[in-house]
Structure 1
Amino acid sequence: MIDSIPVGEKVIIGADLNAHLGEGGEGYRRIHGGEGYEKRKAEGQKALESLEGLDMAVVNTFFKKREKQKITYKSGQSQSQIDFIMTRREDLKMFSDCKVIAGEEVVHQDRLVCGVVKVKECKKKRTGAEKRI
């Protein structure tokens, strides 16, 4: 499905992958920035393999944050990073930050993940209007 979207169009996906991608980007440096949380698990490995095939970068992992700013799921003593924002690797530069908003629970135990995107202002072309002097 992602392959059918023209290259010129931006793709931003936010998802609960329910996968631990891990803190290091070993083997996946192009799509994992090395700033994840905890140890990579099998489901995280599979997710990274799929994302690599699509050349989709995991935005959360490209910004250095304190541990508590990486945690997207917390229940009792259990906490993890399983919610992510992804974009085409070539479009990663449009993000100036990605963070977890602590205290803002979307559902009972999941925290809001926020990506900050830089948008260029487009100037509108004047059409059909008279020229000003």
Structure 2
Amino acid sequence: MVLRLAFGEEVVAVVCGYAPHIGLWDQEKRVFWHCIDVDVGGIPRGKRICIGSDFNGHIGKVSDSFQAIHRGFGFGDRNETTTELLEFVVAHDLGIINSNFKKTDSHLITSCIGGRNTPIGYLLMRQ
């Protein structure tokens, strides 16, 4: 879903989504990434965008070759589905806002099921 909000002269595109979880067929994941890629690709590069989504991925603490978009303040280890998320962020000139500053673990975790802490929700922005 894409919502455009006007603040005076400025328009901000707000995108909300829910990525397929680990274990679903690759085809379902490809459809999700294609749809969000088309939606975000339709927003001009110079325009502000905010994406809030449960990407069902873990960016982890280590930023590796993604320092420009991931400041290293994630939680735990990166998982297999996160490569698509990181590549999407780079392709659309976004940043992972959740990783820009240090937070306590309780503020990083968006889900706790069966004793497993999971940071699956991320806020992506282009300014």
Do both proteins adopt the same fold according to a TM-score greater than 0.5, normalized to the shorter chain? yes
The corresponding residue for 1:29 is 67
The corresponding residue for 2:119 is 81
Q: Assess, with a 3 A threshold, how the Cα gap between structure 1 residues 29 and 46 changes in structure 2: closer, same or farther.
A: same
89, 93, 103: which one aligns with 1:65:
103
In structure 2, distance between residues paired with 1:3 and 1:62: 24
The corresponding residue for 1:18 is 56
40, 63, 82: which one aligns with 1:44:
82
In structure 2, distance between residues paired with 1:76 and 1:43: 21
Q: Where do 5+ consecutive residues of structure 1 fail to align?
A: 92-133
SS of structure 2 residue aligned to 1:2: helix
Aligned residues, how many?
89
Runs of 4+ in 1 over 4 A off after TM superposition: none
TM-score, length-scaled by structure 1: 0.62
User: Which is higher, the Rg of structure 1 or of structure 2?
Assistant: 1
Higher percent of residues as helix:
2
Letter in 2 for 1:2: V
TM-score, length-scaled by structure 2: 0.65
Write out aligned runs for 1:80-99 (5 A): 80-88=118-126, 91=127
RMSD: 1.3
What is the aligned-residue identity percentage? 29
SS of structure 2 residue aligned to 1:14: strand
In structure 2, distance between residues paired with 1:21 and 1:6: 26
1:67-101 deviation digits (Å, cap 9, x = unpaired): 1110011113111101010012xx2xxxxxxxxxx
In structure 2, distance between residues paired with 1:79 and 1:73: 6
